[in-house]
């Protein structure tokens, strides 16, 4: 398409050469005269100087740095994302059911639904334009909203509800039993899980991520939530809209996470706590209590040499006693700071 057309689609300002034809997106060094690139990191200035791109998406205040025409945007990385969706969005599925797929006679299949090889579809409700990849398992009672895409080996257990335009990556398991056990005189009694999982519109779920069904009520993932790979979301968790969670996060049961939050990789969250909207938790943190005020939160010790870490940890084991000793020292008559002569009178 012409550069001016692309600028309109990504909501950018075209500064020059509106009639240049562009066919795709590439990095600054790999782009040629038919590709768009973007500049969002000042560390890549040397690559920008050498680029042969047809045009570069760049901030207005940095356009003088570019040797090629510019598309001006306040957030060039967002512009890059929009370009990728223009040029590389997956094609809409066409009506097709592979001969090796198995469908329950009571399954309701909408228009233009693609069902891949060896997929199993129970008595589910599959809306228009859904893509079901190879070896997916769609159990009885599942509802799949229009335009959703399930890639290979996705499992949706009974009664799971997925909204419109969701993307679920390979190996994800939605609606398995939550980890609910009661100790019966030293033996574990399994508690049946009779809730399900409700997933909103435009949710993305990464590879090998698991979302457990609720115990009595439902596990809920609201609209626009983005989940990375290998995340564990336990029963009855509620994730607010447009929250993004990075890989290897574990969220224990009945925890409620607000909207517009970000949770870094490897975070662990205990159960039965609340995290309000607009909270940002940095990677590797451990959340042991509710977070009731928006902001950025961190925990854990930064990486350091093992010898120093061992030394510091040995002091940590004695920190309670050290605090007691410090308090005693402060209250000692031998401490000048505790002398009545150094204290203001209370009137």
Contact 275, 254 (CB under 8 A): no
Backbone angles phi, psi at 174, to 5 degrees: -115, 120
Clarify whether 235 is annotated catalytic: yes
CA separation for the pair 214, 173 (Å, rounded): 14
Helix axes 319-331, 306-316, angle to 10 degrees: 60
Residue 191 DSSP code: P
Backbone angles phi, psi at 222, to 5 degrees: -80, 175
CA separation for the pair 116, 119 (Å, rounded): 6
Write out the two tokens for 173. 């398991």
Total Cβ atoms within 10 A of residue 66: 20
Contact 224, 205 (CB under 8 A): no
Measured CA angle at 301 (ends 300, 304), to 5 deg: 155
**Catalytic member of 35, 235, 238, 242:** 235
Contact 279, 294 (CB under 8 A): yes
Distances (CA, A) of 70 to 8, 50, 58, 335: 13, 15, 7, 69
> 3-class DSSP state for residue 166?
coil
Distances (CA, A) of 135 to 15, 56, 120, 138, 156: 49, 41, 7, 10, 12
Tell me the catalytic residues: 235
């Amino acid at each position: 398409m012409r550069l001016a057309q692309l600028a309109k689609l990504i909501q950018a300002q075209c500064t020059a050469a509106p009639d240049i034809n562009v066919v795709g997106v590439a990095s600054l060094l790999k782009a040629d005269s038919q590709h768009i690139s973007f500049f969002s990191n000042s560390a890549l200035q040397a690559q920008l100087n050498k680029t042969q791109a047809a045009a570069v998406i760049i901030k207005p205040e940095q356009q003088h740095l570019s040797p090629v025409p510019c598309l001006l945007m306040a957030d060039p990385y967002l512009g890059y994302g929009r370009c990728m969706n223009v040029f590389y969005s997956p094609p809409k599925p066409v009506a097709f059911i592979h001969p090796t797929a198995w469908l329950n006679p009571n399954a309701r299949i909408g228009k233009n639904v693609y069902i891949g090889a060896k997929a199993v579809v129970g008595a589910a409700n599959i809306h228009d334009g859904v893509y079901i990849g190879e070896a997916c398992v769609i159990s009885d009672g599942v509802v799949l909203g229009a335009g959703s895409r399930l890639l290979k080996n996705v499992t949706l257990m009974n009664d799971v509800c997925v909204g419109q335009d969701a993307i679920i990556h390979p190996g994800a398991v939605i609606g398995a039993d939550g980890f609910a056990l009661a100790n019966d005189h030293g033996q574990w009694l399994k508690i049946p899980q009779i809730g399900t999982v409700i997933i909103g519109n435009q949710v993305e779920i990464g590879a090998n991520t698991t979302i457990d069904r609720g115990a009595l009520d439902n596990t809920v993932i609201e609209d626009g939530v983005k989940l990375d790979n290998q995340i564990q979301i336990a029963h009855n968790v509620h994730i607010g809209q447009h929250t993004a969670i990075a890989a290897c996060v574990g969220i224990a049961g009945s925890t409620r996470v607000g909207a517009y939050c970000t949770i870094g990789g490897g975070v662990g969250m205990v159960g039965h706590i609340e995290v309000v909207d607009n909270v940002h938790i940095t990677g590797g943190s451990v959340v042991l209590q509710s977070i009731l005020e928006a902001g950025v939160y961190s925990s854990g010790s930064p990486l350091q040499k093992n010898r120093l870490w061992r030394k510091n940890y040995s002091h940590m084991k004695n920190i309670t006693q050290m605090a007691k000793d410090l308090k005693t020292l402060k209250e000692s008559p031998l401490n000048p700071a505790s002398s009545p002569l150094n204290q203001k009178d209370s009137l």
